[in-house]
Structure formats: structure tokens, C-alpha cells
Amino acid sequence: MGTHNHQTIQPHNHTAMTIIEIKELFKTYNDSEVEVHAVNGVDLNIEEGEFTAIVGPSGSGKTTLLNMLGGLDQPTSGNIRIDDTDLGKLKSSQLIDFRMKNIGFVFQSYNLIPVLTAKENVEFVMHLQGRPKKEREARTMQLLEAVGLKGREDSRPSKLSGGQQQRVAVARALASKPKFVLADEPTANLDSKSTENLLNIMEELNKQEKITFIFSTHDQRVVNKAHRVITLEDGKIISDNRKK
């Protein structure tokens, strides 16, 4: 992939480039008696290099929105365009390939393969992509160093703290040089110190490497770090504030 051959993503243009374009997105669950409009008409653009938090009360649709954004779930209606790709037009096998190459994921838990070491977890996606060994190792070391885990490469997840595991997950999410990283409540299981540490690392990567982060959270301190805060309620955007 020609566009992915550089260690860092191209410097920010002044005319910021829109990488995600969401139009009239709906997701309705009707498997119970009442229809649930988990995402209820969302229009949203995300620009390259953003550091965006999605907040809102429990059940407001944050996870549902992020899942559709990541191509993990199909919208009921509406449209998601990532760069030039309409997600809705991809076949499921193409979607898997697209996710692998373009989107990094950090979940709240169960992020890592427990039988692989930190290093192997980060390398895993590059393995799936069939990247050469040299490239894999160099990138893995670089990323683990960036998330402050140099020296812990050979530890299995069970030997790492929750915060360290999430940092490995961030490194793993970046391994394939994605267009953006989606993180659904990445700090929900972390203490405040680890939370701050993880956020600092993410912010640093955002600044230094121009990685676009979109994360959901309940935590006010995490919200404070964000450069843009989108608030959801009942599946609708009720506010959208850019801070920096």
C-alpha cells in the first residue's frame, strides 16, 4: 500500500482533510418489544488528525456509533464514507481487509491475545497483512517504545497491569498504520494514574504522528483532554465543541 510506506503520516494541511463523513446515520434495534433507536440520525465529519471524544450517558449510542464507524456493525440506514470508500458498499470479506488496513481498534477489555507476548500482539496484525519480518520487528519496537513499554516486550498480557495492557492495545492499533483509531471506553477499567498515562501517550501520538483518535468515555478527565467533544443523547448529537 503506497500510502502507508512512511513512518509518519503526512503533516497536517491547513485545509484540513475530512477522512470520515457520516450522513443521516440510523441504527434501530427491534429485537425487543420496543424499538430502540440506538443511533438516531447522526451527521458528522471527522478530520484528519483530530483527537475527539464521544461522550454521553449510558445507552446514548456511543458504542453503536463507533462500531458502525469501524465497520463492525451495519447501519439500519445512512451512509459512512471513509476517504473514498463507502463502507456500505463493501462485501464482508472486503470489509475485514479494509478494517485491517485502515482502522485501529482499542476496546475496553479483551484487547489482547492472552497467549501472545506484548511484542507478538503488536506484530499480529502485521502478520495477518503478510509484512516482512524486518519491518514488523522495527515497527513493533518503535511502537512499544512510544507507549512506554520498552523492556516489557516479552511479557504476556497476564503479567502486565491494566494500563500497560491498554498501552499494548494502542500500539497494536497503530501497527498497521491505520487512518484513524477507534477506542471505546479505553480507560473504563483503569485507575486515574493509568488513565492519565494512557491519555498522555495517545495525545503524544496524535501530536507527533498525526494519528486521528476517536474515543468514547464517561470520564470527565478524559473529556478534558479531548480537542473536540461530541455529546450524544438518545442516539442524537446534542453538542459538538472544538476546544483547541
Partner 1 sequence: MHYTLNSNDMIPSVAWRNIWRNPLRSGIIITAITIGMFAGVFSATFMKGWMNQRLEAGIETETSHIQIHNPEYRKNYDIRQIIPKGFDLAEQLSENPTINGVSPRITIQSMVASAETGTGVKIMGIIPEKEKQVTSLSEYVTEGDYFESISRNPIVIGKKLSEKLKIKLKSKVVITLQDADGHLTGGAFRVCGIFDTANSMYEETNVFVRYQDLARLSMLSEGVAHEIIIHLHDQNDLNSTTLALREQHSGLEVLNWKELTPELGYLNEIGNLYTYIFVIIILLSLGFGIVNTMLMVVMERVKEIGMLMAIGMGKLRVFLMLMFETILLTLTGGTIGIMLGLGASLALQQNGINLSNWAQGLEDFGYSSIVYPVVEVQMVVVIVILVILTGILASLYPARKALKYNPADAIRTE
| 23, 101, 210, 236: which one binds partner 1 (CB under 8 A) | 101
Do 22 and 183 meet the contact criterion of CB atoms below 8 Å apart?
Answer: no
Q: Which does 31 bind (CB under 5 to 8 A by kind): partner 1, Mg ion, ligand ATP, none?
A: ligand ATP
From the list 52-60, 111-119, 134-142, 146-154, the region that binds ligand ATP by CB under 6 A is: 52-60
Q: Which stretch binds ligand ATP (CB under 6 A): 1-9, 40-48, 61-69, 146-154?
A: 61-69
Per CB under 8 A, 138 contacts partner 1: no
Range 21-80, binding Mg ion (CB under 5 A): 63
What is the strand order of the sheet 36-47 is part of? 36-47, 18-29, 77-82, 85-86
Which of 16, 113, 138, 238 touches partner 1 by CB under 8 A? 113
Strand segments (E) across the chain: 18-29, 36-47, 51-55, 77-82, 85-86, 103-106, 180-184, 212-216, 228-233, 236-242
Q: Find out whether 181 and 170 touch, Cβ atoms under 8 Å.
A: yes
- Residue 146 sits at φ, ψ, to 5 deg, of -60, -35
Give the number of residues in contact with ligand ATP, rule: CB under 6 A.
12
Among 52, 60, 67, 231, binds partner 1 (CB under 8 A): 67
Helix axes 162-175, 192-209, angle to 10 degrees: 20
CA-CA distance, 3 to 149, in Å (whole number)?
28
78 lies in the site for ligand ATP, by CB under 6 A: no
Q: Report the alpha-carbon distance of residue 173 to residue 125 in Å, rounded.
A: 9
Question: Cβ closer to Mg ion: 39 or 118?
Answer: 39
> Which chain residues interact with ligand ATP by CB under 6 A?
29, 31, 36, 38, 56, 58-64
Residues that bind Mg ion (CB under 5 A): 63
